[in-house]
Structure 1
Amino acid sequence: MGLTSTSVLVLAVAAAVLLFVATIWLWPRLGGRGWRPLTGRVGLLLATQLAIFASVGLAANKSFLFYGSWADLFGQEQDLGVVVDHSAGGKRVKVVGTQQLDVPGGERPERAGQIQKVVVAGAKSRIDSPAYVYLPPEYFQPAYAKKNFPAAVVLTGYPGTAENLIKGLKYPRTAYELAKKGRMQPMVLVMLRPTVAPPRDTECVDVPGGPQTETFFADDLPTAVSQAYRVGAKPQNWGFVGNSTGGYCALKVAMLHPDRFAAGAGLSAYYKAAEDATTGNLFHGDQSLRNRADLLWNLDNRPPAKSSFLVTTSKQGESNLKATLRFVEKVKAPARVSSITLDSGGHNFTTWRREIPPTLEWLSGRLSAT
């Protein structure tokens, strides 16, 4: 049974409940003096507390996917690194594995699509990053053999794992179900985390003398994917979506690179690059670079482009409400802005799962395959 399976969580909770009941039931019998009753009491208390701790930990991990497997939890992941060819003729996307969707007919790509685990090599940024690529069922069907598909980059928050987008936020399954119902067009999803230079949080910035993260996301990634898959290379073929830090990155890259992305959606996004212990010195004292990483400053000081933005917040539970309202007010034509404002919803997976279906529908309506 996997670390994130419901069965493991149920067993842990059941064990905690049984140990609690056993402690109450046996406590009078262990009330005597001597080392045996004392050992029994200590053992029951420790076992019960460990079971409760394990239950809480498993529940939290199932919701937020800090660890994807037992091997990951115990630091025993044995997958070897992948050598990526950076020569001029080398492929910039290397497929290292595949997995099926948890839907009926999931074993057949032409019915359920497929998720490919890949490594993307950045030609300009020199950044290599693992990612997952969701290919819709139509990608494998003969009727679509010569047709391109729109694509969207999908980012987690920081630090996050790309698996969160598949298991926790269920982007591929949501896209599959919406397309099947005719509520969005078939779309390729390129899923990864914003931390492409771990463990540093680069805030999708080209750091002077450091990781060129903006270049990777804005240029290298769409170029590599367009060369490896049937995805167009025009702005109207590409969108960007993310949550939290990923949402900030999505809005920023779409805003600063309208020649590569037609739309950007930020779920629970913030609007100015964080600067703290996790980011290090991002700008090296260059105020122009700091301004560039401030989305509200850009809306006030840069000519608007023909871009589409979607921002989300909630009246209770999110700290970005005021900043989101300011962002909406500052967007000027020919740019367009849409928003989702929940009555209540925190900065968590539960909230984002409520926002992802309408976000994908919105994104689908602003992208084209040609």
Structure 2
Amino acid sequence: MLAIAAVVLALFAWNHIPGPKPVKVIARLFMLVTCQFTAILMVFVMVNNANSLYDTWDDFLGTGGSHVVEAREPAPPPAPEQKLLTKFDPAGDGKMGEGVQETTLKGPQSGVEAEVYVWLPPQYKDPAFADKKFPVVELLPGYPGSAKAWFGTLDVNKQLKGMMAKGEVAPFILVSPRTKLLAGQEDTGCADVPGKANADTWISGDVRRMVIDNFRAESDPKHWAIAGYSAGAHCATRMALLHPDRYGAGVSLSGYNDPKGESDSVTSKDPALRVSSNPLTILKNAQQPPKVALYMAGEKGDGLGDAQALKAIAKPPTAITVAEISGGGHGTDVWRRMVPDVFRWLTKTLV
């Protein structure tokens, strides 16, 4: 609306500016700049909405307000009898499709208070599955990226609903937590960063515990997976290797090993965190190979080499499947098309 209004006003006012010639020149220059600015702003908003990069202007500007992060040491996990119960409401964003629920979770371990989105498979309310617990997949966006992206941009729930109904893939509970926790353009790299945020504990501790406590979700790690694309793919690989006691599988779509692949991440700027967050380092330094399966997809020059490097040093019971993406670039259109194959693999791996 601003872009259209700027052009209309410029056309109307161009020959009606009073005053001497210098004033007219300055006024017309201002109108041209305004038209350019609003046009660029319109394109930014369209690209942002199409790719679910930022949820709000506060997220983009780093003024916060939609979430709380305590900069402290992670706390021990709550006792089993202390259920992490929370109230869910239908997701307010219609682009996410039917069935997506949202809650604001206050994580007792991490000190993070932020939104989490959950989608339950069609079978969840089917009386025939009343006594069944369901496998779970945590979904992480890239950076910058919104927790809504897998549902709103990649259409994961819309793609899988029919496949689940036909029995082509298993019925999974899908969970997507906020991963953009720091103000401004800083990315945690999904790590626990001293003095900043406990992102790892939030995703693998608080969110996981909340899902188990609120839904008929499996608790055994062999029925849990974590998946991501781009920076979220790096996070998924890193966390699956670090926490085989929480995840039996990880999925990386166009990810990378060296955190330097994400120039704005805190882990890329801190030498110690950069080394400890690299999946290659994690796998090399593991006292024994983690029992976890990884599905790593990438294009030449965009994730494929990183996946092959990790596969080259993996030893049983670590199992790595590498899939080559044939063109398409680093974008949501490519990752959206990969959703069916990813969940077919997860069905074979987790169920």
Same fold (TM over 0.5): yes
Whether 1:60 aligns to 2:51 is no
Q: How big is each residue's C-alpha offset from its partner over 1:221-261, in whole Å with a ceiling of 9 and x where there is no partner? A: 22221111100110112000011221111111111211211
User: Separation in 2 of the partners of 1:52 and 1:313?
Assistant: 34
1:237 to 223, 232, 253: 223
Return the letter of the residue paired with 1:130.
E
Q: Secondary structure at the match of 1:261?
A: coil
Task: From the superposition, tell whether residues 38 and 352 of structure 1 become closer, same or farther in structure 2 (CA, over 3 Å).
Answer: same
Task: From the superposition, tell whether residues 143 and 63 of structure 1 become closer, same or farther in structure 2 (CA, over 3 Å).
Answer: same
Q: Is the CA contact (8 Å cut-off) linking 1:93 and 1:120 kept in structure 2?
A: no
TM-score (norm 1): 0.74
Of structures 1 and 2, the one with the larger relative CO (CA 8 A, separation 6+) is 2
Give the corresponding residue for 2:191: 205
Q: Is the CA contact (8 Å cut-off) linking 1:63 and 1:349 kept in structure 2?
A: no
Q: How big is each residue's C-alpha offset from its partner over 1:265-320, in whole Å with a ceiling of 9 and x where there is no partner? A: 0111111334866417976x75xx654322112333322232110111113xx433
Q: CA deviation at 1:101?
A: 9.6
Whether 1:123 aligns to 2:108 is yes
Q: Is the CA contact (8 Å cut-off) linking 1:202 and 1:282 kept in structure 2?
A: no
Task: From the superposition, tell whether residues 46 and 181 of structure 1 become closer, same or farther in structure 2 (CA, over 3 Å).
Answer: farther
User: Separation in 1 of the partners of 2:61 and 2:191?
Assistant: 32
Q: How big is each residue's C-alpha offset from its partner over 1:8-59, in whole Å with a ceiling of 9 and x where there is no partner? A: 8xx97xx59x97xx97xxx9x99xxx97998997798567646643542343
Q: CA deviation at 1:139?
A: 1.2
Whether 1:194 aligns to 2:186 is no
2:210 to 205, 215, 224: 224
Give the corresponding residue for 2:242: 256
User: Separation in 1 of the partners of 2:59 and 2:197?
Assistant: 26
Whether 1:357 aligns to 2:344 is no
Task: From the superposition, tell whether residues 50 and 120 of structure 1 become closer, same or farther in structure 2 (CA, over 3 Å).
Answer: closer
Whether 1:171 aligns to 2:156 is yes
Task: From the superposition, tell whether residues 268 and 79 of structure 1 become closer, same or farther in structure 2 (CA, over 3 Å).
Answer: closer
User: Separation in 2 of the partners of 1:217 and 1:126?
Assistant: 12
1:270 to 256, 280, 287: 256
Gap regions ≥5 residues in structure 2:
69-76
Whether 1:298 aligns to 2:290 is no
TM-score (norm 2): 0.77
Give the corresponding residue for 2:73: none
Return the letter of the residue paired with 2:213.
Q
Return the letter of the residue paired with 1:324.
A
Q: Which moved more, 1:50-59 or 1:38-47?
A: 38-47
User: Separation in 1 of the partners of 2:60 and 2:229?
Assistant: 24
User: Separation in 2 of the partners of 1:189 and 1:153?
Assistant: 6
Q: Is the CA contact (8 Å cut-off) linking 1:264 and 1:310 kept in structure 2?
A: yes
User: Separation in 2 of the partners of 1:87 and 1:338?
Assistant: 35
1:95 to 87, 98, 103: 87
Q: Secondary structure at the match of 1:241?
A: strand
Q: Is the CA contact (8 Å cut-off) linking 1:193 and 1:246 kept in structure 2?
A: no
Q: Secondary structure at the match of 1:95?
A: coil
How many correspondences in the alignment? 337
User: Separation in 1 of the partners of 2:192 and 2:58?
Assistant: 34
Give the corresponding residue for 2:322: 339
Q: CA deviation at 1:204?
A: 2.1
Q: How big is each residue's C-alpha offset from its partner over 1:155-194, in whole Å with a ceiling of 9 and x where there is no partner? A: 1112311122221122222222321343211111111232
User: Separation in 2 of the partners of 1:195 and 1:80?
Assistant: 10
Q: Secondary structure at the match of 2:281?
A: helix
Give the corresponding residue for 1:184: 169
Task: From the superposition, tell whether residues 120 and 102 of structure 1 become closer, same or farther in structure 2 (CA, over 3 Å).
Answer: closer
Q: RMSD across aligned C-alpha pairs, in angstroms?
A: 4.1
Task: From the superposition, tell whether residues 51 and 300 of structure 1 become closer, same or farther in structure 2 (CA, over 3 Å).
Answer: closer
Q: Which moved more, 1:50-59 or 1:67-76?
A: 67-76
Q: Is the CA contact (8 Å cut-off) linking 2:110 and 2:199 kept in structure 1?
A: yes
Task: From the superposition, tell whether residues 335 and 74 of structure 1 become closer, same or farther in structure 2 (CA, over 3 Å).
Answer: closer
Gap regions ≥5 residues in structure 1:
1-7, 107-111
Task: From the superposition, tell whether residues 39 and 207 of structure 1 become closer, same or farther in structure 2 (CA, over 3 Å).
Answer: closer
Task: From the superposition, tell whether residues 76 and 257 of structure 1 become closer, same or farther in structure 2 (CA, over 3 Å).
Answer: closer
